[in-house]
């Protein structure tokens, strides 16, 4: 297990390094100079054109004249010491901005995951128990819609129905539970649908196993057999899906947070890309990738507790 952890941690480090480097170079090859965008967002009026002196001053201030590999090496060295730099536009440390926005993303992600699990797992079990019956067909249609419908489209439909027409919840914002309902539902729908389908497939495979027939022949209650024996063994593939989905949610559901004006890491990343605030983009990407690979490692480790037959060498 120790060697496995070392290998996984090494791969995690390489993944984070590769994504950070790719993001940095892609942000710098986008048409339009970084110095000009900084000036337009901080100094100049909307229609003003930056002068060459102003561009040279900003470039010198942020060392933008250096080759890209030197700029990236400087950022990487600072990041390894815990310094992600300061935002070009907001003039505040990137770490401070991330810590300010991360709780909102965690709040939204955990609420969405709770909805997805609370609905997806029991409905998947019902589909398996009621195989090829009306309930099964109906729920499979629902999952097909949930998997196929884009998140932004579902979000707009929810706003139109519950906020604009029925006026039950606010359109957007951040605060109490009433602001959380629509973005949590919109973000959880795809995960709920996938979880339902995975649980249904796993349950159908497990229910045909000899040990289920043996438990039935012993006269055990059907509910006990489903929960204690069938569901436990059918959850292993579902854990992978849930781990990936939670990483996506915690990393920042960019579209959902933007639509609902939710002040999380996803909306912060959109603002940073728009302003070409490279240190802030790097910090957001580093946070998202770090969360994603960490959750994947955690899911792999809990496999051994869900299924004792799995051992990592």
From 38, 193, 215, select the one nearest 117 (Cα to Cα). 193
Is the pLDDT score of 43 beyond 70? no
- Residue 223's pLDDT is 80
**DSSP letter, residue 230:** I
203, 125 in Cβ contact below 8 A? yes
Q: What is the pLDDT of residues 84-123, one digit of tens each?
A: 989 988 889 999 999 999 999 989 999 999 999 999 999 9
Is the pLDDT score of 233 beyond 80? no
Name the least confident of 46-55, 66-75, 135-144. Answer: 46-55
222, 231 in Cβ contact below 8 A? no
277, 64 in Cβ contact below 8 A? no
At 164, list the tokens. Answer: 């604009």
Query: What does the alpha-carbon distance between residue 230 and residue 222 come to, in Å, rounded to a whole number?
Result: 10
Name the least confident of 7-11, 104-108, 181-185, 247-251. Answer: 247-251
pLDDT tier at 152, thresholds 50, 70, 90? confident
Backbone angles phi, psi at 172, to 5 degrees: -160, 170
Q: What is the pLDDT of residues 267-288, one digit of tens each?
A: 899 888 888 889 999 999 998 8
- Residue 244's pLDDT is 79
* CB-count exposure of residue 3 (10 Å: 0-12, 13-18, 19+): exposed
Residue 284 CA to its chain's centroid (Å) = 12
At 31, list the tokens. Answer: 């048409």
Half-sphere exposure of 239 (CA within 13 A, CB side): 19
Length of the chain: 313
Q: What is the end-to-end Cα distance of the chain in Å, rounded? A: 6
The stretch 165-191 carries a mean pLDDT of 89
Q: Per residue in 88-119, is it b (16+ CB within 10 Å) or e — as a string?
A: bbbeebbeebbeebbebbeebbebbbebbbeb
Is the pLDDT score of 307 beyond 80? no
From 114, 119, 139, select the one nearest 129 (Cα to Cα). 139
Q: Which domains does the chain have, with CATH numbers?
A: 2-83 (no CATH), 95-306 (1.10.3720.10)
* CB-count exposure of residue 205 (10 Å: 0-12, 13-18, 19+): middle
Handedness of CA 204, 148, 273, 270 (dihedral sign): negative
């Amino acid at each position: 297990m120790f060697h496995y952890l070392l290998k996984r941690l090494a791969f995690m480090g390489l993944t984070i390094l590769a994504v950070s480097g790719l993001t940095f170079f892609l942000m710098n090859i986008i048409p339009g100079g970084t110095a000009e965008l900084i000036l337009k967002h901080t100094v100049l009026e909307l229609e003003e054109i930056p002068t060459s002196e102003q561009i040279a001053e900003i470039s010198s201030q942020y060392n933008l004249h250096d080759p890209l590999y030197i700029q990236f090496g400087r950022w990487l060295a600072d990041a390894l010491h815990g310094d992600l730099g300061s935002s070009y536009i907001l003039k505040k440390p990137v770490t401070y901005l991330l810590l300010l926005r991360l709780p909102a993303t965690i709040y939204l992600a955990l609420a969405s995951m709770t909805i997805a699990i609370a609905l997806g797992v029991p409905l998947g079990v019902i589909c398996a128990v009621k195989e090829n019956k009306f309930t099964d067909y109906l729920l499979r249609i629902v999952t097909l819609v949930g998997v196929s419908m884009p998140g932004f489209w579902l979000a707009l439909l929810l706003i139109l129905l519950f906020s604009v027409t029925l006026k039950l919840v606010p359109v957007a914002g951040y605060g109490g539970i009433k602001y959380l309902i629509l973005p949590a539902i919109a973000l959880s729908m795809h995960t709920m649908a996938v979880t339902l389908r995975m649980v249904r497939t796993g349950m159908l495979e497990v229910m045909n196993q000899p040990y289920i027939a043996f438990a039935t022949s012993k006269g055990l209650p059907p509910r006990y057999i489903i929960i204690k024996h069938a569901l436990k063994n059918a959850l292993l593939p579902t854990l992978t899906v849930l781990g990936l989905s939670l990483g996506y949610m915690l990393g920042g559901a960019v579209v959902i947070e933007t639509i609902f004006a939710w002040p999380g890491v996803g909306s912060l990343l959109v603002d940073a890309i728009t302003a070409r605030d490279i240190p802030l983009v790097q910090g957001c990407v580093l946070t998202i990738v770090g969360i994603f690979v960490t959750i994947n490692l955690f899911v792999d480790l809990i496999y051994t507790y869900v299924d004792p037959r799995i051992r990592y060498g």
